[in-house]
A = this chain, B = another copy of it.
Amino acid sequence: MNRIPRFAEYVSKGWINIKGKPELLKAKGAAENYDGHLGIGITNALFCSERAMKLAEVHGIGLVALKNTTHWMRGGTYAWKIAEAGYIGISWINTESCMPMWGSDVKSVGNNPFCIAIPREDGQIVVDMAMSQYAYGKLGVYRLAGKKLPYPGGFDKDGNLTDDPGAIEDSMRILPTGYWKGSSLAIALDLAAAAISGGLCGSDMDDNNNGSCTGCSQIFIAIDPYMFSTKEDVQTMLNRRVSIADSAHPIDLKHPVKCPGESTIARRRKSMSEGVQVDDTIWEQVCSIAEGKSLSGHIE
Contacts and interface: CB of A to CB of B under 8 A. Distances in A.
A106 interface: yes
A191 B125 contact: yes
A236 to B, nearest CB: 11
A233 B109 CA distance: 21
Interface string A107-130: 011000010111010000111010
Contacts of A62: 61
A28 B198 contact: no
A227 B32 CA distance: 9
A218 interface: no
Interface residues on A, range: 35 or more
Given A29-B60, A257-B104, A182 B187 contact: no
Given A116-B185, A198-B234, 12 more contacts: A28-B224, A28-B228, A29-B58, A31-B228, A104-B251, A104-B257, A120-B191, A133-B179, A133-B181, A187-B259, A195-B234, A203-B244
A68 interface: no
A125 B240 contact: no
Contacts of A65: 228
Contact of A188 (B196, B256, B260): B260
Interface in A43-92: 58-63, 65, 88
Contacts of A126: 188
A197 interface: yes
A94 to B, nearest CB: 9
Contact of A28 (B120, B227, B234, B255): B227
